[in-house]
Chains A and B, each alone.
Chain A
């Protein structure tokens, strides 16, 4: 375990982009298959603590699969290590997650109110005996924080896409997570909602001090709000400061599939090296 921790820290020191923050999650040689297809192939990266890390990549790049692996919801090879709150050691024991899924596909005819939905996750008393007054108050403040007070007694099935995302965000924040994972939080939300969502998260991050992992294919959001970026397209193409990664050709490689896979693979290695050695892309 000691050696593992040293490796993690050594790699961390080499990454110029996050010297101010310790590593919270270290993903080592992660590979995963879905239905016999290799979705993630030897993916290694790290997530700095207490800031927003964005995982970017085109559709079908394996971003959601990566999130599922981090959440422990998917069989995989390789290691995902988390810094433990108690002793700072790394182990595979998962911390408390807050999770905002990309899309909640549920039965919209179910008569479950927003307040009941939130209570289901926290309240011991079954919701058919009502939501306790104390919980209602807490939930109302969180709903007000995500600018969604008006929906508290509405049915879940009657919410718009944006409202549903905010309710899910309120739920995730109420858990006071160590790591908050958002899978495409901006999908289905208008531009104003998206900006508000990111600003809101920043405020909450400062208040609660959680580590934020955000999956996105929207580069403008990432550039504005993330402190660390990981480019994924089945493999890690680059990771580091958004200024470095988002202006580099790695981005072109990650998203520009039309360039051809053979080319991509050779370039990919260069860029991973570029970040790992900390010298930036030019020197590689």
Chain B
């Protein structure tokens, strides 16, 4: 059943009149980008509102610890990575809320400690150390069907959450005190959001790598902020920017004349849109 759906979707993607789209892995990568790019862009809106770019970076770097923990406990990194990311996210939020340190400091300390622990463990095992390149640079072209299904389910969960929480998150992002005075349980919303964000970041690391994952989140949103005249337009513009740069980056990367990493090309395309948005941005 699932395979039949995939075959049908791939045959649709194959209609794109380009040489590279004839290959099955490109068709599946395309499906992955169709899901991932708008999802990271939508999640990125609140990353920018809450000034959480550094936070998402920290989650990205937790993949090293995730892989290491997987090795130690001999569980598949598919499970150990998202669980570690969730724990790191919750840990940062808890420390941020309970300590008087600035969030930058909390994240900085947490992030380095987790990344260092992961790297230390991994470096003991040269075979795994070589595999870590996949996480540093990412590779959307090797995305599996299972990962696409996971991405689909995660997207459904995230959009459902946004449907109910977007308004509240906007108020919390604007002024948390005002939100709490209006009986919005700010901490609860933030924890759920951070949990979903952690899961999204981990999938995005597969596509763009630890080094570029934050760009997938914040660049479309930053471009949309420049162009949009309202929050509603910003939401859809960010998703459109994400989708456009995702597709453009993937297709460009597959051209023989370019032949570059698709994650990097996607981020470059998004950055180009951002630069263009600076030229066309509305005042007032």
A126 & B162 in contact (Cβ 8 Å cutoff): yes
Q: Is B129 an interface residue (CB 8 A)?
A: no
B182 & A99 in contact (Cβ 8 Å cutoff): yes
B174 & A128 in contact (Cβ 8 Å cutoff): no
A68 and B229 CA atoms in complex are apart in Å by: 33
Contacts of B181 in A (CB 8 A): 71, 73, 97, 99, 101, 181
B230 & A111 in contact (Cβ 8 Å cutoff): yes
> How many residues of chain A get a CB closer than 8 Å to chain B's CBs?
37
Among B91-99, B150-158, B233-241, which stretch is in contact with chain A?
B233-241
B168 & A106 in contact (Cβ 8 Å cutoff): no
Q: Is A130 an interface residue (CB 8 A)?
A: yes
In the complex, chain B residues 92-115 whose Cβ is within 8 Å of any chain A Cβ: 100
A121 & B231 in contact (Cβ 8 Å cutoff): no
Q: Is A255 an interface residue (CB 8 A)?
A: no
| Among A68, A106, A181, contact of B175 (Cβ-Cβ < 8 Å) | A106
Q: Is B87 an interface residue (CB 8 A)?
A: no
Among A112-120, A186-194, A218-226, A238-246, which stretch is in contact with chain B?
A112-120
B167 & A104 in contact (Cβ 8 Å cutoff): no
A106 and B39 CA atoms in complex are apart in Å by: 25
Indicate whether A155 sits within 8 Å of B284 (C-beta atoms), given known contacts A119-B167, A120-B167.
yes
A35 and B233 CA atoms in complex are apart in Å by: 41
- The residue of chain B having its C-beta at the shortest distance from the C-beta of A111 within the complex is B228
Contacts of A126 in B (CB 8 A): 162-164, 166-167
A120 and B166 CA atoms in complex are apart in Å by: 8
A127 & B182 in contact (Cβ 8 Å cutoff): no
A154 & B232 in contact (Cβ 8 Å cutoff): no
A175 and B178 CA atoms in complex are apart in Å by: 13
Contacts of B225 in A (CB 8 A): 109-111
- The residue of chain A having its C-beta at the shortest distance from the C-beta of B42 within the complex is A128
In the complex, chain A residues 233-267 whose Cβ is within 8 Å of any chain B Cβ: none
A116 & B231 in contact (Cβ 8 Å cutoff): yes
In the complex, chain A residues 34-51 whose Cβ is within 8 Å of any chain B Cβ: 35
A149 and B257 CA atoms in complex are apart in Å by: 56
| Among B49, B178, B180, B182, contact of A110 (Cβ-Cβ < 8 Å) | B49
- The residue of chain B having its C-beta at the shortest distance from the C-beta of A126 within the complex is B166
Q: Is B171 an interface residue (CB 8 A)?
A: yes
A123 and B232 CA atoms in complex are apart in Å by: 14
Residue in B166, B178, B183, B228 with the greatest tally of chain A CB atoms within 10 Å: B178
Contacts of A111 in B (CB 8 A): 225, 228-231, 233-234
Contacts of A71 in B (CB 8 A): 177, 180-181
Contacts of B182 in A (CB 8 A): 97, 99, 121, 175
Q: Is A283 an interface residue (CB 8 A)?
A: no
Q: Is B34 an interface residue (CB 8 A)?
A: no
Contact digits for B49-60, partner A, Cβ 8 Å, 1 yes 0 no? 100000000000
A112 & B231 in contact (Cβ 8 Å cutoff): yes
Q: How far is the CB of A93 from chain B (nearest CB, A)?
A: 12
A11 and B230 CA atoms in complex are apart in Å by: 52
Q: How far is the CB of B167 from chain A (nearest CB, A)?
A: 4
Indicate whether A106 sits within 8 Å of B174 (C-beta atoms), given known contacts A111-B225, A126-B166, A126-B167.
yes
Q: Is A105 an interface residue (CB 8 A)?
A: yes
A158 and B170 CA atoms in complex are apart in Å by: 17
Residue in A71, A116, A126, A130 with the greatest tally of chain B CB atoms within 10 Å: A126
Indicate whether A116 sits within 8 Å of B171 (C-beta atoms), given known contacts A99-B182, A158-B284.
no
B167 & A99 in contact (Cβ 8 Å cutoff): no
A116 and B235 CA atoms in complex are apart in Å by: 13
Q: How far is the CB of B182 from chain A (nearest CB, A)?
A: 6
Q: How far is the CB of A76 from chain B (nearest CB, A)?
A: 15
Q: How far is the CB of B209 from chain A (nearest CB, A)?
A: 29
Contacts of A35 in B (CB 8 A): 100
- The residue of chain A having its C-beta at the shortest distance from the C-beta of B229 within the complex is A111
Contacts of A99 in B (CB 8 A): 178, 181-182
Q: Is A107 an interface residue (CB 8 A)?
A: yes
Q: How far is the CB of A234 from chain B (nearest CB, A)?
A: 21
A112 & B174 in contact (Cβ 8 Å cutoff): yes
- The residue of chain A having its C-beta at the shortest distance from the C-beta of B233 within the complex is A111
Interchain residue pairs with CB less than 8 A apart (24): A73-B177, A97-B182, A99-B181, A99-B182, A101-B177, A104-B175, A104-B178, A106-B175, A110-B49, A110-B174, A111-B225, A111-B229, A111-B230, A112-B170, A113-B230, A116-B232, A126-B162, A126-B163, A127-B232, A128-B231, A128-B236, A156-B174, A175-B182, A181-B181
In the A-B complex, the 9 residue pairs with the smallest Cβ-Cβ separation, listed nearest first, are: A99-B181, A128-B235, A126-B166, A120-B167, A128-B232, A111-B228, A112-B231, A106-B174, A120-B170
In addition to A110-B225, A111-B233, 16 A-B residue pairs with Cβ atoms within 8 Å of each other are A71-B177, A73-B181, A96-B183, A97-B181, A99-B181, A99-B182, A101-B178, A104-B175, A106-B175, A109-B225, A110-B174, A112-B231, A120-B168, A120-B170, A154-B284, A155-B230
